[in-house]
Structure 1
Amino acid sequence: MQSYVRISLIFLTLAASMGLILRLMQSGFPLMNYKYLLHTHSHVALIGWVYNGAFIIISNLLQVENSKAFKRLFWITQLSIIGMLLSFPFLGYGAISIAFSTLYVFCSYYLVILIFKYTSNKSRSASARFLRWGGIYLIASSAGPFALGYFMANDMGDSNWYNISIYWFLHFLYNGFFLFVVFAHLTRENHPKGKSIFVLMNASLILLFGLSTLWTDPPAFIYLISGIAAMLQIMAFILLIRNKSVNLINSFTKWLFRLSIAAYGLKLIFQLVGCTHSVQQFINDTVPYSVIGFIHLVMLGFFTLLLLSYFFNNQLIGLTNISKLGSWLLIIGIVLSEVLLFGQAALIQLSIPWLTDFFPTLTAVSSLMPLGILLLTFSSFGNHTVSPSLKQ
């Protein structure tokens, strides 16, 4: 399992490095095709890091570390990620990159089959229900990329439907699959409110997609159902944090975990306030800052820090001076970049003079993240004690 973590961290390092290059290009350095690199950055971050991290959690929850089917699936998935990494920067959405993306989609389908197979004898537990429904939402998310292909083939790349397809993919991938895998982990130890949390989260998921369509100024009832869904998720969160469900081995791991949970709490608040027309207008006026800030809050502040706490807690990354330094550089980079992104959005909305050297400043701050991740990756190759049950 350590090899899986190392590979995931390498992909995270590459994704963060590409993010830094994107920042440099926004600062006036035309290094390559921005749109192509953006596609590469998002695919490697989502699949190479967060999806791989979810795969590791699933393997551990189902206790299938030695399953040949899971091993083969993992390595084939890595082939698809490498293919996307080597094709998207130069071809964008071309035949080769689409072929590797399709390979990933079919790998994800097979993962769902395995989840249902290995949870067949405990399907009534909250953790198994989260895994199963997370798998269903993973399949649902794939409708987004397939729809994108149709819209691109019919010259509808500038249509609302094209953008809605992207939001569909992201919503069901990270609010559905990723988040449900995390909740499967957090409710695995017979959480006293596990089933109630599952009912609330599952009831909210489809309704919450309405939040991703509010930028189109839909009818008022879409705002209402989005607000209801946001409230249901807040209720589930309250039930979750009122009962301790995760045993953490040291103070540093607890700190990472608490930071990730705090980021998730901010996500829930933003979701709720985002269900109002005035806040949606603010978002529409500040898309390059507020939307990217929100996505990074979820992907970096919540998922990434939670995955790191999970890896540290299971001794899949050794807790050394290097790994702690890397973690702190990453955390500082995340916090400062979020302050800059949301701060710039607020300045624009208040008609206050903007930070004129915003992108160079953001680039400097963002450089802390790939540096920190590189140290974490380097540390993962060091010698340290690993729990026998997690060795591979």
Structure 2
Amino acid sequence: MKAQIKISLIFLTLAASIGLILRLMQAGIPMMNYKYLLHTHSHVALIGWVYNGAFIIIYNLLQVENRKPFNRLFWITQISIVGMLLSFPFQGYGAISITFSTLYVFCSYYLVALIFKQTREKPKTTQSRFLRWGGIYLIASSIGPYALGYFMANDMGDTIWYNLSIYWFLHFLYNGFFVFVVFAYFVGANLSKGKNIFILMNASLIPLFGLSTLWTDPLAFMYYLSGIAALLQIIAFVVLLKDKSVSQANSFTSWLLRLSLIAYGFKLVFQLAGSTNSIQAFINDTVPYSVIGFIHLVMLGFFTLFLLSYLFNNELIRLSRLSKLGSRLLIIGIVLSEGLLFGKAALIQLSIPWLTDFFPTLTAVSSLMPIGILLLTISSFSTRTIPDRLE
């Protein structure tokens, strides 16, 4: 799986580079169609990096004996990602990009089938339950793109349903599939309170989608339902922290893991706060900053740092001066960009005219992330022998 890890890091480098181009365009440098490039950035980041990372973790947790179906599936999925990378910048959601997106969707279905096949042949554990339900939520997430295609075909791109279909896809992909894979890793096969954590997470997942609907000014019960779901996730996280040590093989990987858990903790707090009218009003007034800041908090602060700690801990990336430098630059870029995004949102709410050169400043600090990721990617191509724990 070393080749698969390198490919995933290359996609992360490309996604970060595209993100920097988007920042340059926001700063006033015209290059390409911003919306099309944004679609490219999100798809390459979500599928090329986080989905691939989840794939590698699943492969490891299942202790696969017959590797051929997984290897074949991985490479077909990469074809779909390359297709999206080369088509989205030029046509957005068009015939070619939708074709490759559909190929990815069917690849994800096959991954779920493999998960169920592998877990069916072994004793049921809380870990296997997390993996199975993560797969179910992965399938559920695909309803979003199908609905998106329908709304676009019927000139409904300006309706709330178009945005809700995107939020549906994102919610069940990262709150469902991605988070459940991470929790499967944490609970292992014998965590004493793993079953309680699973029940809390599973019970909260569907009603938590209510948070993505609050901007439509729904009935009051949606606020209460979303708040209860957010609270259940906080309880599950507290139980996990009390029942599971987060120590790793060395202090550096432990540091990365703890940072990712801190980011996840902030995510949970923001979810609970977001179930209130006042915070929803704040979000609606600051969407370009608060929403993007939240998404990056989850994707970069939580998932990316967790995946890096996992890869380092399992010696799938060599822990060297170069990889440590790359990780530190990435973390500095994440912290500074998050501070700017949420800071700008707060200043707008307070009507304080500060950070007038916001986008050039954001672009400057954001440049640390692709540089750091590039150094990490280069370090993964080290010729020094690394034990491959997955093979």
Tell me the amino acid that sits aligned with residue 37 of structure 2: L
* Total equivalences in the alignment: 391
Aligned to 1:207: 207
Deviations 1:317-357 (A, max 9, x none): 00000000000000000000000000000000001113110
Query: In structure 1, the residue corresponding to 2:120 is in which secondary structure?
Result: coil
- The CA RMSD over aligned residues, in Å, is 1.0
Aligned to 2:180: 180
Aligned mates of 1:354, 1:65 — CA distance in 2: 58
Aligned to 1:340: 340
Report how far residue 388 of structure 1 moved. 4.7
Aligned to 1:242: 242
Aligned mates of 2:273, 2:59 — CA distance in 1: 36
Distance 1:240 1:88, change over 3 A: same
Report how far residue 385 of structure 1 moved. 4.2
Q: Say whether the 8 Å CA contact 1:65–1:390 is kept in structure 2.
A: no
Aligned mates of 1:147, 1:184 — CA distance in 2: 29
Report how far residue 244 of structure 1 moved. 2.3
TM-score, length-scaled by structure 1: 0.98
Tell me the amino acid that sits aligned with residue 326 of structure 2: G
Report how far residue 121 of structure 1 moved. 3.4
Tell me the amino acid that sits aligned with residue 340 of structure 1: L
Aligned to 1:116: 116
Q: Say whether the 8 Å CA contact 2:314–2:389 is kept in structure 1.
A: no
Tell me the amino acid that sits aligned with residue 372 of structure 2: G
Report how far residue 245 of structure 1 moved. 4.8
Aligned mates of 1:249, 1:56 — CA distance in 2: 19
Report how far residue 2 of structure 1 moved. 1.0
Aligned mates of 1:345, 1:389 — CA distance in 2: 44
Aligned mates of 1:102, 1:365 — CA distance in 2: 35
Aligned to 2:30: 30
Q: Say whether the 8 Å CA contact 1:80–1:101 is kept in structure 2.
A: yes
Q: Which runs of 5+ in 1 are unaligned?
A: none
Distance 1:297 1:35, change over 3 A: same
Distance 1:385 1:240, change over 3 A: farther
Within 5 Å, give how 1:88-237 maps onto structure 2: 88-122=88-122, 124-237=124-237
Q: Say whether the 8 Å CA contact 1:59–1:65 is kept in structure 2.
A: no
Report how far residue 390 of structure 1 moved. 2.8
Q: Say whether the 8 Å CA contact 1:145–1:165 is kept in structure 2.
A: yes
Worse-matched range after superposition: 120-129 or 298-307: 120-129
Aligned to 2:267: 267
Distance 1:123 1:156, change over 3 A: farther
Aligned to 2:311: 311
Tell me the amino acid that sits aligned with residue 83 of structure 1: G
Tell me the amino acid that sits aligned with residue 168 of structure 1: W
Aligned mates of 1:19, 1:76 — CA distance in 2: 25
Tell me the amino acid that sits aligned with residue 208 of structure 2: L
Tell me the amino acid that sits aligned with residue 48 of structure 1: G
Q: Say whether the 8 Å CA contact 2:246–2:258 is kept in structure 1.
A: no
Q: Say whether the 8 Å CA contact 1:226–1:275 is kept in structure 2.
A: yes
Tell me the amino acid that sits aligned with residue 386 of structure 1: I
Deviations 1:140-196 (A, max 9, x none): 000000000000000000000000000000000000000000000111141111000
Within 5 Å, give how 1:59-70 maps onto structure 2: 59-64=59-64, 67-70=67-70
Query: In structure 2, the residue corresponding to 1:155 is in which secondary structure?
Result: coil
